Chains A and B, each alone.
Chain A
């Protein structure tokens, strides 16, 4: 249980977009803080290469899911802040539905074939 699970690269990539959108849905944020929040949420099990977050954020920006703004907070250094847009929230809702369907299907499969004890952990 306590040993770190190695999560497959493709799975990390697939979950990245909904995760970032969900974090931004909590409020606007900047790269480093987003990454810290990802670590926090996954209990350190989602290992991202830090740099890879930025191309992803830029893609979300291009798709119009987030807006960006360079600002200097009163304490600290100049940062690029990302805030979610309505389109982003719509995309997040859509992602949630898809992931719910996937997890439901997987859960069903696990319990039916009894591959893992149904502790609720997927």
Chain B
């Protein structure tokens, strides 16, 4: 049955290759195919034969996509944000809902800021809780979009409630590093809670988890794009309003930026769903461009460090830098995985990716060794625990990824195993982030 499913999936992919047949149409054709197969099967054909006959009766794909092109000529060149007219009969693709949730998030942020008596810099309280003002709306939006049953929706609320309790009941020392770390890790932990709603509660499924990885990458791209556009808009606003009255531009911006940043979280999420095809074209291109560049940069740095012997004098800030570097490499790897076709054979890009990962690992080993020595001398601080822990979490992931892609390149493992490893590992990130929020502060008496 599995073979049959993958053949149907291949057929789907083949039909979808032509831009003129949109996803809902392919769904419709697939239902037809399955109905036909069921009837043929009842007539005594084997599943394989039924599949062949049903595909044959469906007609040749080129002719079919030509017919679709005639009827939906707009699809040939129109890749706009707005839904095509033909589908607008289905009331909406979630734009209205998305905007409602975006506005709700924007308003919540404003209430929090004003209630906090904002004067210039946001307070530590606001910074601790900022993700709790936005991400619940995103989770809610997906829960509503996916039609999540009430019980599961309530389950989703748990991490948010827990996060709110921890952030507001823990007696953090003012400006302590435990507070800062908790504030940094809470959004990450909550992002996985959003992921639970994004996959419609099917968090055990490998495919759904991969969808979520893909979603996260594309969401990030859209968010950056919106932020860039927003930056231009704000710059112009400043320039236009400044002559009217000094400071007018700034005060407008103070209102707009927090709300815009909050609303954009949801709008970007909507864009990912609504305009999948646009970014699907972008994802492979971006990974193609940046993976080799990162591979070069990392190899160069590893060599320089090894030759010049700088590798023994790292301090905490550099460990943080390397954590970020590993995150970026991991992001590239994950994004590359999610954009890659699983049936494709191992090729040049896999080699480049392996080089990038290996170089990052060598670099990181050097930092880690010096860092461990330092901890041995000076003892643990919350920052060191968080940085080291994150480093280990990433290291384990990347070592296994490197090992598996080596096996993939030598033809001894399938791509599926590599992808599977990454999706299995996802909960580790969630647990680590949650641990830094919940467990780390009491360990250090909410101080440092």
Contact = CB atoms under 8 A, between A and B. Distances in A.
A and B associate in one complex: yes
Contact of B36 (A32, A58, A61, A78): A32
A45 to B, nearest CB: 16
Contacts of A42: none
A77 to B, nearest CB: 6
A59 B86 CA distance: 9
Given A50-B57, A54-B29, A77-B34, A67 B89 contact: yes
B67 interface: yes
Contacts of A35: 32
A51 interface: yes
A52 interface: yes
Interface residues of A, number: 21
A68 interface: yes
Given A68-B89, A78-B31, A59 B71 contact: yes
Contact of A52 (B24, B67, B86): B67
A61 B32 CA distance: 18
Interface stretch (B1-9, B58-66, B173-181): B58-66
Contacts of A77: 31, 34-35
B86 to A, nearest CB: 6
Interface in B67-107: 67-68, 70-72, 85-86, 89-90
A80 interface: yes
Contact of A79 (B31, B57, B67): B31
A51 B31 contact: no
A31 interface: yes
A49 B57 contact: yes
Interface string A19-33: 000000000001110
Contacts of A61: 86, 89
A113 interface: no
A59 B67 CA distance: 11
A77 B28 CA distance: 10
Given A50-B57, A50-B59, A61-B86, A55 B28 contact: no
A46 to B, nearest CB: 14
Contacts of A52: 59, 63-64, 67
B70 A50 contact: no
A68 B28 CA distance: 12
Interface in A29-76: 30-32, 35, 49-52, 54-55, 58-59, 61-62, 67-68, 70
Nearest to A78: B31
A51 B89 contact: no
B71 A55 contact: yes
B86 A58 contact: yes
A19 B32 CA distance: 19
A62 B86 contact: yes
B90 A70 contact: yes
A67 B71 CA distance: 17
A92 to B, nearest CB: 20
B25 interface: yes
B31 A32 contact: yes
B98 to A, nearest CB: 20
Contacts of B24: 70, 80
Contact of B59 (A31, A32, A49, A58): A49
18 contacts: A31-B28, A32-B35, A49-B59, A50-B32, A50-B59, A51-B29, A51-B59, A54-B32, A55-B71, A58-B86, A59-B71, A62-B85, A62-B86, A70-B24, A79-B28, A79-B31, A80-B24, A80-B31
**Smallest CB-CB A-B distances: 10 pairs:** A49-B59, A32-B35, A55-B67, A51-B59, A51-B64, A55-B71, A51-B58, A50-B57, A50-B58, A32-B32
Interface of B: 24-25, 27-29, 31-32, 34-36, 57-59, 63-64, 67-68, 70-72, 85-86, 89-90
Interface of A: 30-32, 35, 49-52, 54-55, 58-59, 61-62, 67-68, 70, 77-80
